[in-house]
């Protein structure tokens, strides 16, 4: 528990998804042309997955959606409700009710836009051993429009926030909304944080990603995402993660008074913090195979832990250590869920 924070200081936008999670055999992935540790958007041929999981694989239903995951984890650690505000679009159905309830219980102040005619988005989480493959059917999440941010109360919420976090995933939905939030952050000289989210974002959505990059103060990503970005940029193929990080922070930035920072995770290997030409490493406490329930949400939880300290003005060192703490915790729990009280000590 921390000293009292102002409500609504952290605003996030993303895809509110309900995760449908199940352990499946490898041939299930092969049948749908999927890889073990991937994240993709569902195409027509993937649609039967969701019903199959429910009917044949005793699927579990868990609150998901990358940004919402991070905000739930941040709230859990902050221990005071409504510090984080979330915007995204859901349908008018049972799944939306579950997401609303999970957000409320976690202390996230969610303000969903509601699509009347499209179901709430889902994400198939296909677990094979300690790996997981994601297939998101955005559905209503894809219906998000900037009108929602223009509602007077929401506009007010954005203007009053002090920190902003949006996933790369949201680039597939509504770049104008991202640009709006980024421009507000810039005008008010407040930090704007973003995530590379998945390799396919750099592969297919590089144009809107580069449009927003000049506004990005902190960029998060994992190894695969950083390499996908580098490849899409045509950077030398042998570039190691440190070099990619240095190039990421050197990309054009609007507010030059606050140089960009890149934070790259690499599973159980150290987290890299890249600023200017310097690279610092933060070790990860390795978990044994027995301790790992599933790594689903590890990256999101890392960001959640980071944000929980960042909004309290803590040093990057503390923020990253809390990120590692949070990721380690959710790996020991199904999906991006937590249990008990947070035990992070600065
Ligand atoms: P998912 O991609 O699984 O979550 P993630 O948070 O990215 O978790 P990963 O396991 O991929 O971790 P990572 O590779 O990013 O990080 P790293 O391994 O470096 O996605 C989860 C959610 O995404 C779902 O809920 C779904 O709803 C949502 N989603 C999917 N598609 C979407 C879409 N289109 N739009 C919106 N949402 C979408 O690890 C990070 C940290 O974890 C490390 O730094 C370390 O601290 C820790 N860690 C990792 N491995 C270990 C280990 N073995 N031991 C100890 N610590 C570890
Ligand atoms: Na987990």
164 vs 335: which has the higher pLDDT: 164
pLDDT of residue 295: 83
Q: Are 77 and 305 in contact (CB under 8 A)?
A: yes
Average pLDDT over residues 13-17: 98
pLDDT at 299 over 70: yes
The closest residue, in CA terms, to atom 43 on ligand 1 is 267
Q: How confident is the model at residue 167 (pLDDT cuts 50, 70, 90)?
A: very high
Average pLDDT over residues 28-51: 95
Backbone angles phi, psi at 299, to 5 degrees: -65, -40
pLDDT tens-digit map of 144-162: 999 999 999 999 999 999 9
Q: How confident is the model at residue 314 (pLDDT cuts 50, 70, 90)?
A: very high
pLDDT tens-digit map of 227-254: 999 999 999 877 799 999 999 999 999 9
* Helix orientation angle between 316-331 and 298-310, rounded to the nearest 10 degrees: 140
What CA–CA distance (Å, rounded) separates 265 from 42?
Answer: 26
Q: Which domains does the chain have, with CATH numbers?
A: 10-16+65-120+139-331 (3.40.1190.20)
Residues forming beta bridges with residue 89, ordered by sequence position: 113
Average pLDDT over residues 171-184: 98
What 275-281 contacts at long range (C-beta under 8 Å, 24+ apart), as own/partner pairs, is: 275/249, 276/249, 277/246, 279/242, 279/245, 279/246
pLDDT tens-digit map of 111-137: 999 999 999 999 999 999 878 899 999
The closest residue, in CA terms, to atom 12 on ligand 1 is 299
pLDDT of residue 193: 98
Q: Cα 318–320–326 angle (5° rounding)?
A: 100
How many CB atoms are closer than 10 A to CB 129? 11
CA of 144 to the centre of ligand 2 (A): 28
CA of 330 to the centre of ligand 1 (A): 10
pLDDT at 302 over 80: yes
pLDDT at 1 over 70: no
For residue 82 the two structure tokens come to 């409504």
pLDDT tens-digit map of 198-235: 999 999 999 999 999 999 999 999 999 999 999 999 99
Instruction: Name every protein residue with a CB atom under 6 angstroms from any ligand 1 atom.
Output: 14-15, 17, 19, 39, 41, 64-66, 69, 123, 132, 134, 136, 169, 222, 265-268, 271, 284, 286-287, 295-300, 302, 324, 327-328, 331, 336
Residue 344: closest CA among 305, 298, 294: 305
Q: What is the mean pLDDT of the chain?
A: 95
Going from the C-alpha of 314 to that of each of 99, 135, 202, 216, the distances in angstroms are 30, 35, 30, 19
Q: Are 268 and 284 in contact (CB under 8 A)?
A: yes
3-state helix, strand, coil in the chain (%, to 5): 40, 25, 35
pLDDT of residue 2: 56
What CA–CA distance (Å, rounded) separates 304 from 297?
Answer: 10
What CA–CA distance (Å, rounded) separates 339 from 342?
Answer: 8
Q: How confident is the model at residue 3 (pLDDT cuts 50, 70, 90)?
A: confident
CA of 267 to the centre of ligand 1 (A): 9
């Amino acid at each position: 528990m921390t000293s009292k924070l102002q409500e609504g200081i952290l605003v996030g936008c993303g895809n509110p998804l309900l995760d449908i999670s199940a352990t499946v055999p490898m041939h299930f992935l092969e049948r749908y042309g999927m890889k073990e540790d991937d994240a993709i958007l569902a195409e027509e041929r993937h649609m039967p997955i969701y019903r199959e999981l429910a009917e044949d694989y005793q699927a579990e239903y868990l609150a998901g959606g990358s940004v919402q995951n991070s905000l739930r984890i941040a709230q859990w650690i902050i221990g005071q409700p409504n510090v984080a505000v979330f915007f995204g679009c859901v349908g008018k159905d049972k799944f939306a009710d579950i997401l609303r309830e999970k957000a409320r219980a976690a202390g996230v102040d969610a303000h969903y836009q509601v699509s009347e005619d499209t179901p709430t988005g889902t994400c198939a989480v296909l677990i094979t051993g300690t790996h997981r493959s994601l297939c998101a059917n955005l559905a209503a999440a894809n219906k998000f429009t900037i009108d929602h941010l223009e509602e007077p109360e929401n506009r007010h919420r954005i203007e009053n926030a002090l920190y902003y976090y949006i996933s790369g995933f949201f680039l597939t939905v509504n770049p104008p909304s991202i640009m709006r939030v980024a421009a507000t952050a810039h005008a008010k000289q407040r930090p704007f944080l973003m995530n590379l989210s998945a390799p396919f974002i750099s592969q297919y959505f590089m144009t809107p990603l580069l449009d927003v990059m000049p506004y990005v103060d902190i960029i998060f990503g994992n190894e695969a995402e950083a390499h996908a970005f580098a490849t899409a940029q045509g950077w030398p193929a042998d570039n190691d993660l440190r070099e990619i990080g240095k190039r990421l922070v050197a990309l054009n930035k609007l507010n030059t008074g606050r140089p960009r920072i890149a934070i790259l995770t690499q599973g159980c290997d150290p987290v890299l913090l890249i600023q200017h030409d310097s690279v610092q490493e933060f070790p990860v406490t390795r978990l044994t195979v027995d301790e790992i329930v599933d790594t689903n949400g590890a990256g999101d939880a890392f960001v959640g832990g980071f944000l929980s300290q960042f909004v309290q003005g803590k040093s990057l060192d503390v923020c990253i250590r809390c990120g590692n703490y949070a990721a380690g915790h959710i790996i020991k729990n199904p999906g991006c869920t937590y249990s008990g009280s947070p035990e992070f000590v600065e």
